[in-house]
Amino acid sequence: MQVNIETNQKKKKSLNQAFASRFAKSMFLAVCGLAILSFIGTRMFTHIDLNLYGYMVGTIVFLGGFFYRFIAWAERPPTKLIIKKGIKLLFRKSTPKTSVEHLATYRFIWNRGIYRWTQHVLIGWGCVLAILVTFPLVFGWMYFTMEDNGYYNIIMLGMQVMTVKADGLIANLSYNALNISAVMVITGVSMALYRRLKNMQARAEQKFLYDFLPLYMLLLVSITGLALTFMNIFLHGAGQPAMSLIHQWSVIITLIYLPFGKLAHIPFRPMSVLARNYREHYSKQSMKNCKVCGDEFVSIEQSKDVVDVIGENDIEFKTKEGFHLAELCLPCRRKYRIAQFSGFATHEVKVKEANQNAKG
Structure confidence at residue 350 (pLDDT): 57
> E-strand spans in the chain?
142-146, 151-156, 159-165, 287-289, 296-299
Q: Is the pLDDT of residue 192 over 60?
A: yes
For residue 314, what pLDDT band results from cuts at 50, 70 and 90?
low
CA dihedral 305, 308, 313, 315 (to 10 degrees): 110
The pLDDT tens digits for 94-131 are 889 988 988 888 888 888 889 999 999 999 999 999 98
The segment with the largest mean pLDDT, out of 45-54, 185-194, 267-276, is 185-194
Please give the model's pTM, rounded to 2 decimal places.
0.78
Of all residues in the chain, the percent with pLDDT exceeding 70 is 88
- Rounded Cα distance between 94 and 86, Å, is 13
**Mean of the pLDDT values across residues 287-305?**
83
Domain boundaries, the chain: 19-66+108-268, 286-348
Question: Longest Cα pair distance anywhere in the chain, in angstroms?
Answer: 85
Structure confidence at residue 219 (pLDDT): 94
Q: At a CB cut-off of 8 Å and minimum separation 6, what does 120 contact? A: 106, 109, 188
Q: Is the pLDDT of residue 277 over 70?
A: yes
- Rounded Cα distance between 106 and 99, Å, is 10
Structure confidence at residue 13 (pLDDT): 58
CB atoms within 10 A of CB 59: 21
Q: Is the pLDDT of residue 87 over 50?
A: yes
Distances in Å between the Cα of 296 and the Cα atoms of 47, 292, 336, 339 are 60, 11, 18, 22
- Rounded Cα distance between 201 and 99, Å, is 31
Provide the total of helices (H) and of strands (E) in the chain, helices listed first: 16, 5
The pLDDT tens digits for 337-354 are 777 676 666 555 555 554
Structure confidence at residue 117 (pLDDT): 93
The segment with the largest mean pLDDT, out of 46-60, 179-193, 231-245, is 179-193
Structure confidence at residue 7 (pLDDT): 53
CATH 1.10.357 corresponds to the domain 19-66+108-268? no
- Rounded Cα distance between 156 and 42, Å, is 9
- Rounded Cα distance between 230 and 239, Å, is 10
The segment with the largest mean pLDDT, out of 196-200, 219-223, 295-299, 338-342, is 219-223
Write down the mean pLDDT value for the chain. Answer: 81
Q: Which of 41-55, 279-293, 298-312 has the lowest mean pLDDT?
A: 41-55
Query: Residues 65, 256: contact at Cβ < 8 Å?
Result: yes
